[in-house]
Amino acid sequence: MNHSLIQISDCHIGDNEYSIGVNTHINLKKIISRISHINIDILLITGDLTHNGSITSYKTLQQILYPIQTKLLIIPGNHDNKNNLSTTFSKNLFSQFTLGKWGIININSVQVSKTSGFLTKDELIKLELNLAQSNVQYILIALHHPTVPMNSTWDDSLSLKNPEALFNVLDKYHKIQAILFGHAHQAAEFRRLGVKIISCPSTALQFNNETRIGFNYYTLYDNGQLTINTQWI
């Protein structure tokens, strides 16, 4: 049985409709309206759900996400407030999640009061434990920060600061099929040792020349194959 997963990222919902120069509320509503007509198993949000991390912004986000009658998985970004996010979306935060033969493992790359990402020793130990104990056949890794140079106008100094530490762990496990992240506000795909590395566009605005908003649609096959279709509005 194949499974479908949609990834959205960097919604930047604020207390007011306008954040980072655009109406993030209207833009996310357009994305959710499109997604609500697609039959999916999982909606994954890879960080920066809100712009300032306020309770009000998370409550607004809850209302916008209401039409999605599916399993919602959330990981934090550098703009999120840990306590307020946990208060509003406690049931949707996760360490790992199983979907048939596939598993999704979340890594927290957020540094307090910093834009760039970093994986602490404790986070790497937890990742290794989750990988070693996983009994699924195929694994997706999800985090907020880019793990590779974006080869664009994006400032790579704002990405993950210690990707080599991450790859030192991941390279031991052949179950890993892809690494998914956001933060860079652009759609891109890379490969490393046969593993797909995929950047998700923002639902708010892109940091490159792309003027549309979008999301990534994945199909996870029982044979370990994964296809990606970036959809734009």
Q: pLDDT for 117-159, tens place per residue?
A: 999 999 999 999 999 999 999 999 999 999 999 999 999 999 9
Q: How confident is the model at residue 174 (pLDDT cuts 50, 70, 90)?
A: very high
pLDDT (0 to 100) of residue 119 = 98
pTM: 0.97
Q: pLDDT for 42-76, tens place per residue?
A: 999 999 999 999 999 999 999 999 999 789 999 99
d(CA 194, CA 48): 28
pLDDT (0 to 100) of residue 69 = 78
pLDDT (0 to 100) of residue 195 = 98
Q: Average pLDDT of 38-45?
A: 96
Q: Average pLDDT of 91-114?
A: 97
Query: Judging by DSSP bridges, how do beta strands 214-220 and 188-192 pair with one another?
Result: unpaired
Task: Give CA separation, 116 vs 17, 44, 58, 135, 221, in Å.
Answer: 26, 21, 22, 32, 33
What are the chain's domains? 3-232 (3.60.21.10)
Indicate if the pLDDT at residue 103 is higher than 90. Answer: yes
Place of tokens 């602490």: 120
- Ranges of H-type helices in 44-142: 55-65, 82-89, 121-133
